[in-house]
Amino acid sequence: MSWLPIICQNTTEPPPSWEDLGGLSGELPECPYHGLSAFGEKDADFFFGREKFIADLVEAVNSKPLVPVVGASGSGKSSVVFAGLIPRLRSVRNVGIVSFRPGKNPFDAMAIALSKYCKSLVQGQTKASGETASRLAELEFEVNLRHDEKVLCYFLENIINSSGYQRLVLVADQFEELYTLAAQEERYSF
pLDDT along the chain (190 residues), means of 10: 61 74 70 83 92 97 94 93 96 90 94 78 55 78 87 87 88 94 92
Kindly state the DSSP code that residue 1 receives in the 8-state scheme. Answer: -
Look at residue 76 in the predicted model and tell me its pLDDT: 92
Q: How far apart are CA 26 and CA 140, in angstroms?
A: 51
The Cα–Cα gap between 20 and 41 comes to 37
Q: What is the pTM of this model?
A: 0.74
Residue 116: its pLDDT value, please? 81
